[in-house]
Amino acid sequence: MINMNKILYAGFALLLCASCSNDNDRDITSLPEAKISLQVKASGTNKKSPLKAGTKAGTDANELAGEAYINNITAFVFSEDGSQLLSSAPFYQETTPADGELTIPNIPARAAKARIVLVGNANGALSNITSYAGLEAALCQLSSQEQDNLTMSSRVIETEESLVAGDENYIGYESMGKNNINGISTPLELTRLAARLDVVGIKTNFTRPELLGRTVTIESITVDNQKTASRFFSHDYWGAVVTAGNLGTSPSTPMDLVVDNNTSLSEIAYRTYVMENDGSEQPTELLIKATISAKDPYQARTREFRAVINEKGLSAYG
């Protein structure tokens, strides 16, 4: 009898495990088909450009022509737990920006609760992603970023209700009001991953007698501790996309810019792109090599100055 009880308990446990496995690995093809139509826009402040992606800076007075256009969209519709896609593959569509907003219709899905993530300008690099964890682990490389094709993404939409089978499910349509998924009646905003670094002015402010009348020549600028990769998205709007490691030093950019107390550089002297760096490992820094001219009895002297990027704005030392 004892042995029989053990057998019965073991058999019962196996049935429970089999039931759990079937729930977690449910075949999505058994679910009715559904479709999602959504409207997106790129965050930005430059209204002269039809579709722009903004950054955490809020305003961007130096925004470049053609920067952050949306050239393609990859839409991920995952199951509620993120374990699988509710379609055979990520949805990918080439796009033509117009009027500041973009409509993406007929994204395939299934009638279930879902996690939805949009990535702009991934250029097909994410076509093999099959789970939310896989997308979280994927890294966007700085080397792939171009001025007119910068990667951007939306926050994560976790549907409160199951998608409606055999019908359109909407996100971002003002006319649909509360009938949008989660009641989201404004277009989803896409935000840029890469930040543009501009050196917008260089000047001297010498007051000591031995420095008055001397010029400074900027010989080169380098970016140190430059993040070379980031995550493709954040869960929340404007959330962090920083990833550990992936620190590098940019090539040195030669220059021959001369400034003194009476002659300053008011135009942008240097620009490049960097990925988000919260400084938890090493903060991103500018390395500026500069030479102060000779003045009898003082000789010319070359030094390297460092400036931490976005440390209470821009804090220089060295």
pLDDT tens across 231-243, in order?
999 999 889 999 9
CATH of domain 195-317: 2.60.40
pLDDT at 263 over 80: yes
> 192 or 160: whose pLDDT is higher?
160
Predicted confidence band of residue 41 (pLDDT cuts 50, 70, 90) = confident
Q: Which of 105, 145, 88, 142 is nearest to 121 (CA)?
A: 145
Please state which CATH class domain 31-192 belongs to: mainly beta
Residues 165, 257: Cα–Cα separation, whole Å? 64
pLDDT tens across 136-173, in order?
999 999 999 999 899 999 999 999 999 999 888 999 99
- Residue 29 is classified by DSSP as G
User: Comparing 31-192 with 195-317, is the CATH topology the same?
Assistant: yes
Sequence spans of domains, the chain: 31-192, 195-317
Q: Which residue is associated with the tokens 């940019």?
A: 250
Q: Which residue is associated with the tokens 């404007």?
A: 238
Predicted confidence band of residue 26 (pLDDT cuts 50, 70, 90) = low
